[in-house]
Every structure is written in structure tokens, then in C-alpha cells.
A and B are shown apart, each in its own frame.
Chain A
Amino acid sequence: DAGVIQSPRHEVTEMGQEVTLRCKPISGHDYLFWYRQTMMRGLELLIYFNNNVPIDDSGMPEDRFSAKMPNASFSTLKIQPSEPRDSAVYFCASSLAGQRGDYGYTFGSGTRLTVV
């Protein structure tokens, strides 16, 4: 398996523009997570899905952020309009629940977003 695949790896955009980050989870994993990493706040969970259904979006900072998972192999995180304070590394992760032991929690390589 190629692991969790995120695109793009780097994104530079101007304030006010729409940004879409993409994630392909590991095939067969039924949980998908979006995290954001900054120096000030560390790694924080934004939203997670189970079987393509959003379960908890309490970490989404504000209405400018939205996430979708139209099928088991694809998810997007959208920021509209983007602001400089959204600059961060955004990680996607997937895992398999329902079994004891290693859940196979796997992170993608991240998308480094810079909003100027």
C-alpha cells in the first residue's frame, strides 16, 4: 500500500483565496482524520470521519473551514477565504477501528500551507 497520500505537498496562496487540500486514505481504513500543526498550538485535531460520515468537527476553527468525504478513498479540506493565520502544516491520517491492538494509525506526509 502506498500509505496515506496528500496533495499538494506545498501550497502558497494569497489571502482571500480558496484553498483545497486532498487526502487519499489507506484502502480498507474506516477512520479518516484531519490535523493541523503549528508552532504555537502543536498538533490539533480538526475533524474526523468514520465510514465517510463526519463524527466530530468541534476542532474546526471557524466556518471558513469545511471538510468532505464523498467516498471511502477521498477527502478534502477546504478553506474559504484563506487568511495568513491559517498558515500551517495540515496532516491527514487514517486508521482501522474495531480490533484490539495496533490500529494502524498512519499519517500522510502533510501539506504545508502558506497564506500571504
Chain B
Amino acid sequence: GIQVEQSPPDLILQEGANSTLRCNFSDSVNNLQWFHQNPWGQLINLFYIPSGTKQNGRLSATTVATERYSLLYISSSQTTDSGVYFCAVDRTGANNLFFGTGTRLTVIP
């Protein structure tokens, strides 16, 4: 099956710092999404981004499908950004998402 690797596994930032999270995948995909799981366990959809670049406030994401990776940028981090960030991919076109192991982000004041 497809492999999804995320790095780094853990990241600690001072509030206000910027960060880049990476997702590598082993095969071509037609769906890639980024999710944030907050400390209370809620999973929030951040981006649908099988290719190209999108921005939403302090967050932006870029997927280079030909090179099989995606990046999530967090600028001016805030404590509310803490949690686990997951990359998830689908090859079938049926929204059957396969999740990576996540990056745990801790933003300290």
C-alpha cells in the first residue's frame, strides 16, 4: 500500500516562530489533505491540496505532486496551533484517506 511519512515527528516552537512540516508519499495521489487534531482530539480539515499552493491566514500549503511531497507552513505560530498535524492521501478517488503518523507541534508562550 501507499506509504505516507511525515517529518519531523515532534516540534517545539516559541510563540511567533515560523515552521514547515513535510509529508512524503510513495505513489501518485489524486487527493491530499492536511488536518489538525487539537489537544481535545478534534480533527479539523485545513487544506484539500492534491497539487499547487493554497493559503488560509497564517497557514499555507504546497504540494509538488510530481515529486510526491507536500509542505505545510505555519507563520507567526500561536499557542492555539498546538496539536498534531496529519497529512492524508487517497489514490482511489473515493475519498478513502490514508493517514500519516503526524507531526506533534507544541507552541510555548
Chain A residues proximal to chain B, CB less than 8 Å:
31, 33, 42-45, 48, 50, 55-56, 89, 91, 93, 95, 97, 101-107, 109-110, 112
Interface majority SS on B: helix, strand, loop or mixed?
strand
> Do residues B96 and A105 form an inter-chain contact, with CB atoms below 8 A?
no
Query: Chain A contacts of B101 at CB under 8 A?
Result: 42
Can you sample 7 A-B contacts with CB below 8 Å?
A31-B94, A33-B95, A42-B100, A56-B94, A102-B45, A103-B31, A105-B48
Q: How many residues of B contact A (CB 8 A)?
A: 20
- Total A-B contacts with CB atoms under 8 angstroms apart: 53
**Which residue of chain A has the shortest Cβ distance to B45 in the bound complex?**
A105
- Residues in chain A near residue B99, CB distance under 8 A: 42-44
- Interface positions of B (Cβ within 8 A of A): 31, 33, 35, 41-45, 48, 86, 88, 94-102
B92 to chain A: closest CB distance in Å? 9
Q: Give the most central of A43, A55, A91, A107: most B CB within 10 Å.
A: A43
Q: Which residues of A contact B94 (CB under 8 A)?
A: 31, 48, 50, 55-56, 97
Query: At the interface, is chain A mostly helix, strand, loop or mixed?
Result: strand
